[in-house]
Every structure is written in structure tokens, then in C-alpha cells.
Amino acid sequence: MAENSLTTQEKWDALYRDSETPPDVAEVLRENAHLLPASGKALDFACGLGANALFLAAQGLETHAWDISPVAITRLTENASTRGLTLHGDARDLAAQPPLPASFDVIVSCHFLERPLNPHLMAALRPGGLLFYQTFTLERVDDSGPKNAEYRLAVNELLTLFPSLRVLVYREEGLVGDVQCGFRNKAMLVAQKVG
Ligand SMILES: C[S@@+](CC[C@H](N)C(=O)[O-])C[C@H]1O[C@@H](n2cnc3c(N)ncnc32)[C@H](O)[C@@H]1O
């Protein structure tokens, strides 16, 4: 079958069937883990192999991990059970089945830039809930990340995508200074639903 005729699910399934291990926990979560609540319900949104979901579950949060790829979800739930972690995986199309309003205390969304879903992310947070968001920027120092510019953030764009939330952390270094160091190719945001 020609690659362009594959569905989104088939493309990601094929990739996850062949990949060895989950990537590292995203910087936005690892570097800001002190902001997480001691308990509550967390969602890894478009989780892939779910390094972030495993991290959330290990922190003691009731963790849900959703992705369109059943292969990724199966591998993630097996991985969680090997580690003795409880995690609720669900293979679902997030455009068709976004999270319900006020259903999560923590949402992590990394490397999945689907701007039309952002209102659902804001609505899905409970009062006081936190969004941890990180993805690729147009400004970059190498070729990592998506080639299609639509899937990369413009300068300062991430600051504008979740207007109803209070910004706690924002980091976007662009091409400033020594580009061999720091957080490059991406922007990160931690923001809170107030009230
Ligand atoms: C670049 S990967 C990021 C995975 C993970 N969040 C990470 O940072 O490693 C994008 C993920 O989005 C998922 N995806 C794409 N379209 C989707 C959709 N409509 N609904 C749910 N998941 C989707 C893919 O299966 C893939 O796992």
C-alpha cells in the first residue's frame, strides 16, 4: 500500500510497531514536576508510547493515556504493568472523542499540535488544574520534528493558544545565545485553570 493512502492510525501503528523504547519524559514535565498535585486525575493526551503517562502514574496520579494508535496503547499498558504501575490506556481519535469538560486535574500534551482541540483541553481541566504543553517551533537549530510547518509553533504562539489559563511557566529560546545549550527547537508552557 502506498504510504499516502495509509490512515493516521495506520501510520502511527507502523511506527510504534518498529520502535524500541519510549522517548524520554518531556522537559516540560520533568523540569516542572514540583508543580504537580499530590493526587488527582491526569491525562497524557496523544501519549504515543507514553513516557509522560508512566511518569505521572509513578507520581501516584490516577493516570489516563489516550492515543489513536492501538499499538502504542497496548505497548504502553504492557510497559506499565511490567513496572507495577496502574494506568488506563484508551485507543481513541481525540478529534472525535476529546476529553469531557472538567474531567482532569492534570493534562500533558507533547508534540501534538492540533490547534482546534485546544478549547477542549482548556475546558477539560478542573478548577486549579494544570496543563503541561510542549511542542516544536518554526525556529530551530536542527531538523528534528515535523517537516510540515503547520505542525510547528510560530514565535510566541504558544503564549496565545490557551488564553483562559494563567501562565506559570513559559520557555522558548529560539536562536538566542549559544544554541549548543539550552532548550531548543521547542516551546514549553505550564498553565493553570483559575477559579
Ligand atoms: C509526535 S507523537 C507524540 C507522542 C507523545 N506525546 C510524545 O511526546 O512522545 C504524536 C502522537 O499523536 C497521535 N495522534 C495523531 N493524531 C491523533 C488523533 N486524531 N487522536 C489521537 N491521537 C492522535 C499519534 O498516534 C502519535 O502518538
* Domain definitions of the chain by residue range: 23-192
Q: Given this model, what pLDDT does residue 4 score?
A: 59
Q: Given this model, what pLDDT does residue 5 score?
A: 74
Contacts (Cβ under 8 Å, ≥6 apart) of 195: 127
Closest residue by CA, ligand 1 atom 11: 46
Q: Given this model, what pLDDT does residue 23 score?
A: 85
Q: Give the three-class secondary structure for 178.
A: coil
- The pTM (predicted TM-score) of the whole model is 0.97
Closest residue by CA, ligand 1 atom 13: 46
Report, as ranges of residue numbers, the positions in the chain whose pLDDT lies below 50.
1-2
> How far is the C-alpha of 157 from the C-alpha of 33, rounded, in Å?
23
Provide the CATH topology of domain 23-192.
Answer: Rossmann fold (3.40.50)
Closest residue by CA, ligand 1 atom 1: 111
Q: Given this model, what pLDDT does residue 195 score?
A: 75
For residue 32, report the distance from its CA to the centre of ligand 1, in Å.
22
For residue 177, report the distance from its CA to the centre of ligand 1, in Å.
32
Q: Given this model, what pLDDT does residue 1 score?
A: 43
> How far is the C-alpha of 22 from the C-alpha of 11, rounded, in Å?
17
